[in-house]
Amino acid sequence: MSDKIAVSLTVNGESRRVTVEPRRTLGDALREDCGLTGTHLGCEHGVCGACTVLVDDAPVRSCLMFAVQAEGARIRTVEGLADGDTLHPLQQAFWDHHGLQCGFCTPGFLMLAVGILEGNPDIGEAELREALSSNLCRCTGYQNILKSVLAAAAAMRR
């Protein structure tokens, strides 16, 4: 397992070159090799979605993708959402509508929601609920997460 492979990727607009074991997941590479610990690992078997990041604009569970598969890809993580002091509309909406409690699932939900809303800004509530059911939250009962994403969708359309 010691034969490491160099991988070039763009993370939040910055070029990164990491040297990883072939078995290194993208999630581990972001956390350990790039120092971006905002992406959380909740189950490491692709169910909870806490580790969701955007790979070439598509929501991906970073625990189920190897870092070497991300060669040349454009990765976005929670650390890249805010513009300086200005929160992304989704971050702002989660704050305004109590869309988080312990915050552990939050980066995954934010990145999932960014992917959904960028792909379909006019998504309806029922379809949105279905799409957001990809990820697990244990604290909020989901109600305020849905409310937050609906509010952000409205703000992003303006």
| Residue ranges in contact with other proteins by CB under 8 A | 1, 21, 23-24, 31-32, 35-45, 47-48, 50, 77-79, 81-82, 87, 91, 94-96, 98, 100-107, 110, 129-130, 132-146
Q: What is the DSSP string of 67-98?
A: GGGGTT-EEE-GGGTSBTTBPPHHHHHHHHTT
Minimum CB distance to other proteins, residue 92 (Å): 8
Q: Extract the runs of DSSP E, i.e. beta strands, from the chain.
A: 5-11, 14-20, 52-55, 58-61, 74-76
Cβ at position 56, least distance to other proteins in Å: 20
DSSP strand pairing (58-61 vs 14-20): unpaired
Q: How far is the CB of 74 from other proteins (least distance, A)?
A: 18
State the distance between the two ends of the chain, measured CA to CA, in whole angstroms.
Answer: 51
Smallest distance from other proteins to CB 111, Å:
10
Q: Considering beta carbons, is residue 23 or 157 the nearer one to other proteins?
A: 23
Q: Cα separation of 118 and 113, whole Å?
A: 8
Cβ-based neighbour number of residue 147 at 10 Å: 17
- CB closer to other proteins, 19 vs 133: 133
Among residues 69 and 79, whose Cβ is nearest to other proteins?
79
By beta-carbon proximity to other proteins, the closer residue of 9 and 72 is: 9
